[in-house]
Chains A and B, each alone.
Chain A
Amino acid sequence: MTFVAKPKVHHPKLPVNEIGLTRRDYEGSVSTLCAGCGHDSVSAAIVQACAELSLPPHRFAKVSGIGCSSKTPSYFLNKSHGFNSVHGRMPSVMTGSNLANRDLIGVGVSGDGDSASIGFGQFAHIVRRRINMLYLVDNNGTYGLTKGQFSATNDKGSTSKKGVPNLYEPIDLVSSALQIGASFVARSFSGDKKQLVPLIKAALMHKGMAFIDVISPCVAFNNHSGSTKSYEFVRDHIHNVMDADLIMAHDEVTADYAEGSREDVAMPDGSTLQLYKVDADYDPHDRVGALNYVQRMQEKGEVVTGLLYVDPNAVECHDIMDTVSQPLNELTEADLCPGSDTLDSLNQRYR
């Protein structure tokens, strides 16, 4: 397999961010996914979010499992290390990576097969451990690389390309994440960059487990009429409850929303997470309410999107474990090895 490398020369007029980098500095290799694949829009949104946040592009740890979605970490942030691991096991590899170096920004990309089937257990357990990361699922309801089998997130009754309906109940990862303990839960649509980019920014700056389920249609196997994960179906049934934006300390608020529908949430790094209620009755700090709402809307065939739940004061795994603030991979013999005198007294204890 070969592909054409992107030219490294930047257009001189590309805008630079606060650390003097352009969007191109956050890009990756050229995608080998199908033309029109929703996943490429998600990768582009990650690039834009990271560039707008002026995050150093080498300070990420990108981890994925196996599948179309899991190929995407090659397509963004190529100054960072990435790890295309084992099918369904991104969460455990990411857990280890985060335990070793808590200072890196963890971005885990997975798919619906990866997270809702083979890796459903790992998904559940990384959420309950509250690893500080962005866990993003490119959710297209189908197995693309093996040519179009239903995945576990495919809705019951949704049909395959040949018109055969799915007979089994779907797993809703958003509901699971809410129930198990994610402190930031959102759903979005790869076709709605305006919503998705701010959500990714907010998730990246969130301290704790941030989960985003992105409906990302598969143009090859699941974009036909009869599918509930097609561009058309999702556009027609989307129900946005809450927009979010991350405002850096010195930025001005320009969004145009009705008075009284805005809530400012202070973030640990000094920035502000601004929430805009699209649905006036929705409370993004009520975990059980959110779960209820999502499930009720799902019964009606609606796809609830937006920032569904956030706990700005959440703890993460290192808080729970009470590990030192210095990354464990930086500790040396002096920190780690108790030495021979201590060993002599330990020997004595075993006599």
Chain B
Amino acid sequence: MNIKYNDFVIRFANVNGSGSASANGMFAKALFRMGIPVATRNIFPSNIQGLPTWFEVRVSEKGYLGRSEGVDIMVAMNAETLVEDVASISPGGYLLYDNSKPLAKALKRDDIHEIAIPISSMMLPEFSDPKQRSLFKNIAYLGALAGLLNIEFDVITGMVSTQYKGKDALIQPNIRSLELGRDYALNYLDAPLPLQVRRSDAVGDRIMIDGNDAAGLGSVYGGATVCAWYPITPSTSVAESFENHSNVLRIDKETGQKKFAFLQVEDELAAIGVVIGAAWNGARSFTATSGPGISLMSEFLGLAYFAEIPAVIWDIQRSGPSTGMPTRTQQGDLIGAAYASHGDTKHPLLFPSTPKECFDFAAQALDLADRLQTPIMVLSDLELGMNDNLSEPFEWDDSRRYDRGKVLSAKDLDEVEVFGRYLDVDGDGIGYRTYPGTHPEKGAFFTRGTSRDEFAVYTESGEVYQRNMERLQKKWQTARTIVPAAQIVDKGQSVGVLYYGTTSLPMPEALDNLAQSGIHMDTCRVRAFPFGDEVEQFIAAHDLIFVAEQNRDGQMRSLLINELQTNPAKLISVLYYAGLSISADTITEQISDYYIENKFSRVTEVQS
């Protein structure tokens, strides 16, 4: 038998609120603990109970973490979606279903394997409570999969023991359900399947965590003391993570009091208002939201831009407004965030693509906001934020000091001869600020939008306004030099691909696929806006650049054209925006098609 190890996609079709999440999570974690790279994806509705939900695990010895089209194993636990679930299985794949009720003839497919387990009937004598019966059904499936895929059983039972530590009454029925499933598979089915897992060292020292949790923890490490927020999917868990970690890591040992303020406010307008008020008064502060929240915050973002007040805003992007598709991922907020608000405004953006980068950027954004005295937006998305991702472990250099930017203390104020809040003393476009209450006589000023001079004195002079706007432009040039630089791999190819955020996840696989068909490209992973010189040079050095992103309008491409005056003909969009994350297959196909349509020759460059 030809056995394929550690390379498949498994999808669990569940009913929202049926307790499947815990069993599904254990499945992914078990493989991760066996050292096998996994990527998880939750596809969930805007609903608490009843609607269909899917959980997908990509298992890849090669470490490909992007979404893959097609499903190799479908665990069909939702009668309502059975038709589409069966249809989505790749030829040669497996359908795992509960044959307590027979499968309708119409659903039969010749090109897939059926694996029938009478799970409901098996659970009937075991549990009298219907709710328990339904809950442990999920666990029994997990047991069956352990038998079918050859998952190390003690890894799973070990997790059950840890998870229910202190709730011993729950351990036994969990283990029992696991055994029921496994034993059925081993006794009555052709287990293990030719599709199997086996212990690997491909995970290395990586951790498994979702990006939002990493962002919350990074904000703790970065010294945020005020978090104000309003619940919105898929960003809510950023704030919750900050609170959870702070409740452990930021408690005064003597008094038990909190070294942070965490406030759920009435809306996103208030959230950004609190962040700006706190930062004005010298506390590091942040909020987390999604696209609709950015829209609501726009007026305040403009004020903070003009009044030059630090703020950090996490935008966990999703698909558009209202409800429904917003529980799906997208990279659709670039232009809205970059130029948010009235008048001439533009804001630095950071694009993390791994949980490690969420952690790092959380702390770095707080530094950048203080240094540049302006709002910094971190654009993550649902794909990164809400799914467990493999990530390099977090690191912190204990000698690192927070960069609080240009702030004058009472002593500094005694020493300076002239203080003007908006004077460009250093020529980098950034003035010195003071916190309220610093000095009895010096350094107080009145903060307002634009109608003031270098000394923060009210004026409606057009000349002064224009001078100020030019200084802000100079500050923008400073920002270009200190935001995270793009990561570039340049092997001298004539064609490049530029991408950012979670579009990075399927990219290694797409590049391998393309290379196999003779298409070789250099890569530029953009990590921030405004673009640094390296991005400009990358574009200049290539004849053609594919810009891969997850929105309809090619928003990154627009930013490149607008900010770098790039010739639009040079930038070819590779787009996907149907709610799931972009797959390697999509990228490969769109780029290959372009080559075919334009009769580009392949392997034109000899690999060095």
Contacts and interface: CB of A to CB of B under 8 A. Distances in A.
Contact of B225 (A74, A100, A125, A350): A100
B562 interface: no
B196 to A, nearest CB: 23
Contacts of A340: 395-398
Contacts of A328: 225-226, 259-261, 278, 283
A322 B256 CA distance: 9
Contact of A125 (B209, B261, B265, B402): B265
A56 interface: yes
A329 interface: yes
Interface in A70-115: 73-74, 78-86, 89, 91-101, 103-104
A346 to B, nearest CB: 7
B277 A83 contact: yes
Contact of A100 (B281, B393, B434, B446): B281
A323 B260 contact: yes
A96 B269 CA distance: 12
Contacts of B282: 100-101, 329
Interface residues of A, number: 60
Of the listed residues A78, A335, A346, A350, the one surrounded by the most CB atoms of chain B closer than 10 A to its CB is A350
A17 B593 CA distance: 82
B217 interface: yes
Interface stretch (B170-178, B320-328, B435-443, B540-548): B435-443
A145 interface: no
Nearest to A90: B273
A333 B434 CA distance: 20
A222 to B, nearest CB: 25
B208 A350 contact: yes
A58 B207 contact: no
Interface string B382-406: 0000000000011111100110000
Nearest to A324: B257
A328 B282 CA distance: 9
Interface string B241-280: 0000000011010011111111101110111111111111
A260 interface: no
A100 B283 contact: yes
Contacts of B303: 85-86
Nearest to B213: A350
Contacts of A94: 277
B4 to A, nearest CB: 26
Contacts of A93: 273-274, 276-277, 280
A4 interface: no
B140 interface: no
B437 A350 contact: no
A81 B257 contact: no
A86 B299 contact: yes
Nearest to A349: B207
Given A81-B437, A340-B397, A321 B225 contact: no
B285 interface: yes
Interface in B309-331: none
Contact of B270 (A92, A323, A347): A92
B396 A80 contact: no
B396 A99 contact: no
B459 interface: yes
A258 interface: no
Interface in B442-487: 444-449, 458-460
B228 interface: yes
A246 interface: no
Interface of A: 1, 29, 56-61, 63, 73-74, 78-86, 89, 91-101, 103-104, 121-122, 124-125, 129, 321-325, 328-329, 331, 333, 335-340, 342-343, 346-347, 350-351
24 contacts: A1-B460, A57-B440, A58-B439, A61-B436, A78-B444, A83-B446, A92-B228, A93-B277, A95-B228, A95-B263, A96-B228, A96-B275, A96-B276, A98-B277, A99-B277, A100-B278, A129-B263, A322-B256, A323-B259, A328-B259, A339-B398, A340-B397, A343-B396, A347-B393
Given A84-B447, A331-B223, A331-B225, 16 more contacts: A79-B441, A81-B447, A83-B448, A92-B271, A92-B272, A96-B280, A100-B226, A122-B270, A129-B263, A321-B258, A325-B255, A328-B260, A331-B259, A333-B402, A337-B221, A343-B396
Sorted from nearest, which 6 A-B pairs have the closest CB atoms? A96-B277, A92-B273, A100-B283, A96-B278, A329-B282, A81-B436
